[in-house]
Every structure is written in structure tokens, then in C-alpha cells.
Amino acid sequence: MTAPFPAVDPQAAQRSADPATATYVFAVSRGLAPEAVAGLIGHREGGPVRLIDAGGLQAVAQDVPYGEFCAEALHRRLSDPPELERCTRAHHAVVDAVARAEGGTAPLPLATLYLGDDRARAALLAHERRFRASLDRLAGRTEWGVKVHVPTDDGPRPETSASAPAGPGAPAGPGAPAAPAGPGASRTPGAGRAYLDRMRGRQRAREQQWAASRQAADAVDRELRTLAVAARRLRTRDTGIGAATGAGAGALGPQILNAAYLVDRARSAELLAAVDRLRRAPQLSGVRIELSGPWPAYSFAETDSESESESESDSDPGSGEGGAGRDRR
Amino acid sequence: MTDYDVLTAAPPAQHPTTTNLADILERVLDKGIVIAGDIKIDLLDIELLTIRLRLFVASVDTARKAGIDWWETDPALSSRAAHSALAEENRRLREALESLGDSGEVGDGGEAGELESAGDGGNRGRKAGRS
């Protein structure tokens, strides 16, 4: 009785009465014609992708073999990279195929499963208001992803003071971090001090670079927000490794912005043009802007998504090394 | 490494595209409308796994082009590397501390801050400095 709806309904689902089958729900939509999902493959182990009506809502769903989608099997499969990729792409392909539904499409995360259609229907009805609000907001709109990377500066930085040279290996050199405190160096008196000075100088350079990056990211974000009905900053990636090792980051540079924008479909061309403009902007030269989309509106499915969820600590490429030191001053 | 090759087979994203696995993972694991299902899986576990994959996938195309193979020694992607990287870091910091200790400069706040900022080994280094 504590469950939101009955644990297992014996007279559930005519379609999925077979205990060997579970109902996998990809997305919730409305006003879709059955043809919209005809021919979609979904998970290769499953049956045809179909629609389950629930009030005015529709679950885009598929029967899948329980043995392959029970908790244990899922855990095993999703922990296996190739299998994870397969499931992920299968899920996304279906969501993507119905994303342009006129009534809107609210994507569900990977692996939302029910023991039969009735259970799926009950779940949709239990969250009906939430889904309707989501669909109202998403209809006619699409998500674009924008990632911004700054170049790592291999050359000497003018701001770096003479007392704190960056060292023979520039920050981006793969061997640089290890070199200054090599076994030989550290036996010389004062080498530890020099090491710390180098670290300090490096950090100062990093902070300056970071400030400039911040401005670039904000410039891009500000511009694109003017075209969006909602925007969201996602966690930046590749921060840890890039910042911590000083290598690898040299290739692409740290990611300074990872954002998603919800844009009216009618304004898609404007968005593309704006990104193009930003890429050519002189003050952003060297900054790399990656655009992906149009996406099903994964990042805007939940109602609270308009409130910007900016995670400072996550989005600071310097946090791996610089964060603690800076806070201590 | 062969497992990861599958993940990186997708072409690098240049023009608007949604084929990049890292991008898809980022969305299908974290986003969308979350409602309780009958089958519970711990997406958090998956999340932890894929954070590493994401890091990997996000950088691999460009890195490869640049001839960089840092992931082979990256702690997040190789347990062997994790071991040696931490050991190396610790050794380096200890040495730096020892040479500082000789000149009697250990323990002042600024230095400790700097050391801490130098990486994971910072905490350990600080403890060593106090003893």
C-alpha cells in the first residue's frame, strides 16, 4: 500500500500478461498517429514500438523480454560499455523519431520499465499534470547543445612574472608536471622552494587564462540565450583529466561551457547563424564552439529546468588543482 | 582498450549532429522526466561508470588527431596507471616537503595552500609536514 500504485496487478495488461515481458517506455507524447512509430526498431530484443494511450497522453513503448531487462540483467548490461552504447543508442533513436510530435514529446531516461501496459498507463496518469506541463513547454521547440573549449596556451604568457617562470616544459607539455621535482632536482637546497614558485606561477597563469575563458563562455552564452526560451548549463566535461595532468587538455583545451538551449523550431536557422557569427567573432578567436542538435528536449523535460543550474565547482577547469589553493587566500 | 574502441567509433561532431555517444549518454542518463518504474536500476552506478567513459569519449577524437595517448596512463581509465600516478605524485610531494623542511619553511599557511593546490597528494603532504 505504500507504493504509488498496486505492486503487481494480477489482471494487468492484456498485451503483456506474459511474465516474460516488460513494457519499456521511451517517451511520453500526445496526438501521435500509430504510423509515427511504425517501423521503429527500439531495443533489438523487443517487439514493435507502439503507443499506449493513457488519458490524452501516449507512452511510446515496446515489449521487451523480462529476462534481458530485469534489474540484474540491466545492471550487468549497462555496465558493459558496448552494451551500454547499444541500449543508449536504441533508446535515443526512438525518442528522436518522435521528438517532432506536434503535441510535444517528453523524453524519459534510459530504462523506465513496467510490468505490463496497465502499470505504464497508471504511471503516466499518476504524473499526468507533470507530463502535460512538460509537453506544453516542449511542443514546437527543440534542444541544441553548445560546448565551448578554449585553447591551451603553449607559448610563454606575458602575464607570467619573471620570478615564476613556467619552466622549460610549457604547461601543456605531457612531461611537464613531473619534471620540476625530479629526484635529482629535489636534493638541491632550495629546489622545493623553486618548485612551489613554479607551481604558484603556473597557477597564476591558469587563473588569468580562466578569467579570459569565463568571459568567452559568458559571451557565447549571453548571445545564444537571446534566441532561447530556456537555457541550462550542464556539467562541463573533461575538466578533471585535462586540468590534473596538463596533457590531453592541450589537444582540445578545457571545456568552459557546456550548455543546452531550448529554441523554437522556427528559430533554428537563427541559432545556427548566431553560432556561425560567434565562431568568427574576433574576440573569440581560438575559442572552439561545438554545436550539436537538434535534440529531443531531454534537458528541458522537467519543469524546473528554466532555473539555471550552474554548478560553479563542476565547471571550473582549474578546480582540480587551483580550487583549494585559491580558497585559502 | 578494445571495449572503448566501440565507443569512439562515432565520427567527431563538427556540424550539428546527435551521434556523439558522450552527448547522448549525458542526456539519456541524467535528463528527461524521471518517473518510478517497476524495475529498479541504479542509474547512479551507471552514471559513475559513464563519467569515465564520457571523459574518455569527449577528448579522444581530438587527442588522437594530435597523437596524444594520455588515456593509456590515465588513472580514471587504467587501474595500473592510477596506482603509479598516485605513488609518483606522493613521492614528488614528499621530496618537495623534505627539502623545504631542511630550510625550516614548512607549516606556514601559504605554503600549505600551495601544496594542496598541487594535486591529490596535497593532503598527505600536509600531514607529513606536521609530524
CB-based contact B111 A196, cutoff 8 Å: yes
B106-130: average pLDDT: 38
The grid coordinates of residue A250 equal 592541450
Return d(Cα A182, Cα A185) in angstroms, integer: 5
Handedness of CA A299, B18, B70, A247 (dihedral sign): negative
| Selected residues 91-120 of chain A with any CB under 8 Å from a CB in chain B | 91-92, 95-96, 106-115, 119
Could you tell me the end-to-end alpha-carbon distance of chain B, in angstroms, rounded to an integer? 42
**What pLDDT score was predicted for residue B57?**
58
Contact criterion met (CB < 8 Å) for A92 and B28: yes
Q: What is d(CA A106, CA A89) in angstroms, rounded to the nearest whole number? A: 17
Q: Are B23 and B13 in contact (CB under 8 A)?
A: yes
Contact state of A113 with B76 under an 8 Å Cβ cutoff: no
Contacts of residue A148, Cβ cutoff 8 Å, sequence gap at least 6: A216, A217, A220, A255, A256, A257, A258, A287, A288, A289, A290
Eight-state DSSP code of residue A53: E
Q: Do B31 and A293 touch (CB under 8 A)?
A: no
State residue A322's pLDDT score: 33
Cα–Cα distance for residue pair A224/A281, rounded to 1 Å: 14
Task: Say if residues A29 and A55 touch (Cβ distance below 8 Å).
Answer: no
Distance of CA A31 to the CA centre of its chain: 29
What is the layout of strands, in order, in the sheet containing A141-149? A230-233, A255-264, A141-149, A288-295
Q: Return the pLDDT at B86.
A: 66
Q: How many Cβ atoms sit within 10 Å of the Cβ of residue B117?
A: 24
List C-alpha distances in Å: A11 to A20, A62, B37. Answer: 15, 20, 18
Spell out where A115-239 has E strands: 141-149, 230-233
pLDDT of res. A137: 96
Selecting from A123, A174, A272 the residue whose C-beta is nearest the C-beta of B35 gives: A123
Report, as an integer, the average pLDDT of B113-127: 37
Q: Residues of chain B with pLDDT > 90: what percent?
A: 5
From CA B40, how far away is CA A69, in angstroms rounded?
Answer: 10
C-beta atoms of B59 and A298 within 8 A: no
Lookup result for grid cell 506541463: A133
CA dihedral angle for residue A293, residue A296, residue A301, residue A305, rounded to 10 degrees: 0
* Chain A residues 136-195 with a CB less than 8 Å from chain B: 144-145, 174, 178, 181, 183, 186-193, 195
CA atoms within 13 A on the CB side of B69: 4
CA-CA distance, B29 to B37, in Å (whole number)? 15
- Compute the nearest-CA separation of B45 from chain A (Å): 8
pLDDT digits (tens, 9 = 90+) for B25-44: 889 987 899 999 999 887 77
Identify from B99, B115, B124, B126 which residue to disrupt to test chain A contact, counting A C-beta atoms within 10 A and taking the largest count.
B99
How big is the A-B interface in CB pairs under 8 Å? 240
CA angle A172, A178, A179 (to 5 degrees): 90
Question: Can you give the pLDDT at residue A27?
Answer: 98
pLDDT attached to residue A268: 95
Higher per-residue pLDDT: B118 or B88: B88
What pLDDT score does A123 carry? 97
Q: Report the residue from A82, A110, A237 with minimal CB separation from B29.
A: A110
- Indicate whether B121 pLDDT > 50: no
A168: preceding bond cis by omega (within 30 degrees): no
What pLDDT, on the 0 to 100 scale, is given for residue A313? Answer: 34
Q: Distance between CA atoms of A112 and A144, rounded to whole angstroms?
A: 24
Which residues on A lie below 8 Å from B7 (Cβ)?
Answer: 81-82, 85
pTM, two decimal places: 0.63
Supply B34's cell numbers.
524521471
A217 within 8 A of A146, measured Cβ to Cβ: no
Burial A114-129 (b: 16+ CB within 10 A, else e): bbbbbbbbbbbeebee
List CB contacts (< 8 A) between A190 and chain B: 99, 103
User: Does the interface ipTM go beyond 0.85?
Assistant: no
CA distance A50 to B11: 31
pLDDT tens string, chain A, 329 residues long: the values are 444 554 554 444 444 444 689 999 999 999 999 999 999 999 999 999 999 999 999 999 999 999 999 998 998 888 888 888 899 999 999 999 999 999 999 999 999 999 999 999 999 999 999 999 999 999 999 999 999 988 765 433 333 333 333 344 444 444 444 444 445 545 666 888 999 999 999 999 888 877 888 889 999 999 999 999 999 998 876 544 333 333 344 456 788 899 999 999 999 999 999 999 999 999 888 889 999 999 999 999 987 644 433 333 333 333 333 333 333 33
Could you report the per-residue pLDDT of A230-253, keeping only the tens digit for each?
999 988 765 443 333 333 444 567
Taking the mean position of all CA atoms in its chain, how far away is CA A50?
28
pLDDT tier, B112 (very low <50, low <70, confident <90, very high otherwise)? very low
Instruction: Specify the higher pLDDT residue, A115 or B82.
Output: A115
Question: Judging by DSSP bridges, how do beta strands A255-264 and A230-233 pair with one another?
Answer: antiparallel
